[in-house]
Amino acid sequence: DAKTTQPPSMDCAEGRAANLPCNHSTISGNEYVYWYRQIHSQGPQYIIHGLKNNETNEMASLIITEDRKSSTLILPHATLRDTAVYYCIAALYNNNDMRFGAGTRLTVKP
Amino acid sequence: DTAVSQTPKYLVTQMGNDKSIKCEQNLGHDTMYWYKQDSKKFLKIMFSYNNKELIINETVPNRFSPKSPDKAHLNLHINSLELGDSAVYFCASSLTGTGMYEQYFGPGTRLTVT
């Protein structure tokens, strides 16, 4: 699986958009980009995934560059409850072998 | 209804003991996993079971053994517990081969070995 690189931490003001970057320059053609988050000590929660097209769901948007070497997770209106560690993972579609890195600790501030 | 449940939530035990952590999912998924999250917060996959067959076995000590009585359950047995086994253990499940991509995680079991 491709290795991903994320900034260790980011801050965001409540109500503003949170843009979390991820670098996956060695991603292969059949690997998807998945995003999960872990709030405090809870189990990780799936957010969104994509292959090469931009994706949007009720939680977030995923923007993948045309060369697929990087992506950005966008939380359009961050709330305090979005404070969590966000993990970007490159893995095959059946995601049986998810490799979690250190992630980005997002802190949403009032 | 709880999708993925684990018992117990907390487990404190002494070195050398044998313990089990239970996991159940009511989502009809066909693949279940065990992850370990250590004190540095790194989340590492330990095992994956698909239709009662082990398909991932990371380099974990053979003191750890997953046991799946049926598709809805994947229990983790740990023999001769060591201090380094202290961590939070997460169970997860997913449905493979149908285009669904999410892994659903349980709430975790915090194991403390003294």
Contact call for B105 and A34, based on CB within 8 A: no
Contacts (Cβ under 8 Å, ≥6 apart) of B60: B36, B46, B47
At residue A1 the predicted structure's pLDDT band, cuts being 50, 70 and 90, is low
What does the pLDDT average to over A61-83?
97
Distance CA A78, CA B2 (A): 26
Interface residue B95 vs chain A (CB under 8 A): no
**Using CB atoms, which residue from B43, B56, B105 is nearest to A96?**
B56
What does the pLDDT average to over A60-82?
97
At residue B39 the predicted structure's pLDDT band, cuts being 50, 70 and 90, is confident
At A32-58, the pLDDT tens digits run 999 999 998 899 999 999 999 899 999
In 10 A of CB B2, how many CB atoms? 10
At B57-87, the pLDDT tens digits run 778 899 999 999 988 999 999 999 999 999 9
For residue A97, the one-letter residue type is D
CA distance A101 to chain B (A): 7
Interface residue A41 vs chain B (CB under 8 A): yes
What does the pLDDT average to over B38-48?
88
What does the pLDDT average to over A78-106?
89
Q: Is the pLDDT of residue B98 over 70?
A: no
**Using CB atoms, which residue from B42, B43, B99 is nearest to A44?**
B43
What does the pLDDT average to over A17-32?
94
**Using CB atoms, which residue from A34, A43, A96 is nearest to B105?**
A43
CA distance A60 to chain B (A): 15
What chain B residue is nearest to A98 in terms of C-alpha separation?
B45
What does the pLDDT average to over B97-111?
83
What does the pLDDT average to over A59-79?
97
What does the pLDDT average to over A99-107?
93
* Strand runs labelled E in chain A: 9-13, 18-23, 31-38, 45-50, 55-56, 61-64, 70-75, 84-92, 104-109
Q: What is the mean pLDDT of chain A?
A: 93
Contact A101, A2 (CB under 8 A): no
Interface residue B97 vs chain A (CB under 8 A): yes
Contact B51, B96 (CB under 8 A): no
Q: How far is CA A99 from the centre of its chain?
A: 13
Interface residue A51 vs chain B (CB under 8 A): no
Tokens read off for B43: 């989340």
Quote the pLDDT of residue A41: 83
Interface residue B41 vs chain A (CB under 8 A): yes
What chain A residue is nearest to B107 in terms of C-alpha separation?
A43
At residue B42 the predicted structure's pLDDT band, cuts being 50, 70 and 90, is confident
Q: What is the mean pLDDT of chain B?
A: 90
Among candidates A67, A75, A65, which has minimal Cα distance to A35?
A75
Q: Is the pLDDT of residue B101 over 70?
A: no
| Residue A100 burial class via C-beta count within 10 angstroms: exposed 0-12, middle 13-18, buried 19 and up | buried
At residue B91 the predicted structure's pLDDT band, cuts being 50, 70 and 90, is very high
Q: Which residues of B34-53 are buried (b: 16+ CB within 10 A; e: fewer)?
A: bbbbeeeeebebbbbbbeee
